[in-house]
Amino acid sequence: MVFFCSPIVSIFTDLFGCRKVAVIGAALGFVGLLSSSFVSTIEPLYFTYGVLFACGCSFAYQPSLVILGHYFKKRLGLVNGIVTAGSSLFTVSLPFLLRVLIDSVGLFNTLRVLCILMFILFLAGFTYKPLVSNTKDEGEKKGKFRFPPEKKIFNFSVFKVKSYRIWAFGIPAALFGYFVPYVHLVSALFFSTYDVIETTVIPFCIMD
């Protein structure tokens, strides 16, 4: 769901700017995560965690990448690498933290503790100050906001570039096998000699 919403989030980011989209996304993720901590059955989790929290993360994640292009030009590749590396390090360390929290305070209280991280993300969204004006800013300068033409929002002319078509259709095709280890590896590890912590960490290490 995080990546599924990316095209929609990109449109909203172009229209309303990185700051507003990131803040609203973090707030939506906070509500989804907090409401998930009060759910006692799995069915409501499909909505609170699978939809609300996931969509909120998507709206908060996409602007965090777009904003880099506003501040960095010459070393944008290096900056993206640092951001990605930080994400990977946190993802690898997260299973250890979650295991300690779940053993100490239980699953529901762990979700409430994680809400603190979402609140920090909410506050961090206010620091996004784009140096490039967006459509809404231009409209406000003229006194009234107007949506840009449909062709500007849904610009399919990029598909005329052959290299982009190969990349755009090649990546999804490659991802058909990307999630296979996540489906089968965890169940295989439970029948192995590894302990519980290792079975939790290994899939996260593969992810990064």
pLDDT tens-digit map of 67-120: 888 888 788 888 888 887 877 788 778 878 888 888 899 888 999 999 998 999
Which tens digit of pLDDT belongs to each residue from 165-207?
898 888 878 777 777 776 677 666 666 655 555 555 565 555 5
Picking from 115, 127, 128, 8, the residue whose alpha carbon sits closest to that of residue 59 is 8
Number of domains in the chain: 2
Is 104 in the same domain as 170?
A: no
Show the domain range for 121.
6-155
Whether 94 and 172 map to the same domain: the answer is no
Helices and strands (DSSP H and E) totals, the chain: 12, 0
137: pLDDT strictly greater than 60? no
Nearest 5°: the CA angle 35, 86, 183 is 60
Q: Which of 155, 173, 200 is the C-terminal boundary of a domain?
A: 155
What is the rounded average pLDDT for all residues in the chain?
79
Dist CA 32 CA 199 (whole Å): 27
Asked if 21 and 123 sit in the same domain, the reply is yes
> For the residues 31-35, what does the mean pLDDT come to?
93
Whole-structure pTM value: 0.74
Show Cβ contacts of residue 32 under 8 Å, excluding neighbours closer than 6 positions. 48, 49, 51, 52, 53, 54, 55, 56
Instruction: Tell me if 49 is assigned to some domain.
Output: yes
Residue 140 reports pLDDT greater than 60: no
How many CB atoms lie under 10 A from the CB of residue 189? 17
The last residue of a domain, from among 132, 155, 178? 155
